[in-house]
Amino acid sequence: MVGILVAIFLLGVLIFVHELGHFIVAKAFGVGVERFSIGFGPKLWSVEKGGTEYALSSVPLGGYVKLVGEDPEEEVPEEKRGTSFYEKPLSVRVAVVGAGPLFNILFALVVMTGLYLWGIPVLEPVVGQVMAGSRAQEAGLMSGDRVVLIEGRHVDSWESMARLIQKSPGKPLRLVVDRQGKRVVLTIVPKPQKARTIFGEKRVVGRIGIVAAGTYRIERSNPAKALLRGWEYTYRMVYLTIVGIIKILQRVVPVKSVGGPILIVQMVSQQVKSGIVSLFTFMAFISINLGVINLFPIPILDGGHLLFFGIEAVRRKPLSTRAKETAQQVGLIIIIAIMAMAFYNDITRLLGGGK
């Protein structure tokens, strides 16, 4: 139950941020905003200010923005003609539509920067267990050893250590470890093993047969470094999201990996148990996904509107209303099909015990 409530709140915040982007940029460029609602459904409370109705609605899942003249066939009152969305220059319309996805990505940047300022747990490169017969045991690595250097490179986390080892299958590595206050130099040749990337692609990585001791430290960054790390995380997740979607289309990643609301609730429940840092990191990840997916050129999505604007820029005139309606119907079918597939995958995973 907690997972469901947190998931609703999380998605509500992200949809609100998305709509806030449209609202702020529309106001900045003089586009009229008839209504900015927090939530959907029947209004619980509203107030009008500056020509905009600000409403609080009964279904607390995000919100929406209603622009003046957002439908080209809409009859706009004479007094609002200058603020009509479709009477604004193409560049303004592009900015207003693109602001929603952009705000989702920027929101992730803000969240991650805040987390790096606050402090994140980092798994220490301390060996907890050495597997019998492993390359680590053969080289003399022992439980309690802290890896300090690998091939002269400083190791400050289990992740950075694992990355260096995985990149060197079959290659001798010179490790410097701290063993009860003394520096010990070891040479280990990682064993080549088959593995899969996060996209399910096969690759060969190096393994030495050790398990982490499970000791963590809290690492806090100064504002400049926190912003840089926040940007690096955001850039990496944008890239991985785009690559992941492309690989699904290429069938490199199976479509059964696509998830919907049920999967999100399950993952949110896991993050709640893991702590506030994990939850907010997941929130940033979902925000990036929402932003990137909305930029895909599928009619109905923001990316579809941007596609229409791009065609308009080339043709020097907008598409006909009939053409847009046909494209949007196709887009709606695509979205419904994706949602149906996501729900099917969720239910299949649920009935299959998460497999």
- In 3D space, the residue among 302, 203, 193, 190 whose CA is nearest the CA of residue 252 turns out to be 203
| Contact (Cβ atoms closer than 8 angstroms) between residue 281 and residue 110 | no
Other beta carbons within 10 angstroms of residue 295's beta carbon come to 21
What spatial distance separates the first Cα and last Cα of the chain, rounded to whole Å? 22
Give 320's contacts (C-beta < 8 A, 6+ positions apart).
Answer: none
| Contact (Cβ atoms closer than 8 angstroms) between residue 125 and residue 147 | yes
Q: Among the options 19, 73, 75, 201, which is catalytic?
A: 19
Burial class of residue 291 in the structure, from the number of CB atoms within 10 Å of its CB (0-12 exposed, 13-18 middle, 19+ buried): buried
DSSP 191-239: EEEEEE-TTS-EEEEEE--EEE---EEEE---HHHHHHHHHHHHHHHHH
**Residue 19 falls in the annotated catalytic set:** yes
Ramachandran quadrant class, 175 (left: phi over 0; alpha: psi -120 to 50; beta: rest): beta
- In 3D space, the residue among 287, 345, 330 whose CA is nearest the CA of residue 114 turns out to be 287
Residue 33: phi, psi to the nearest 5? -115, 110
| Contact (Cβ atoms closer than 8 angstroms) between residue 206 and residue 192 | yes
Residue 100: strand, helix, or coil? helix
Active site residues: 19
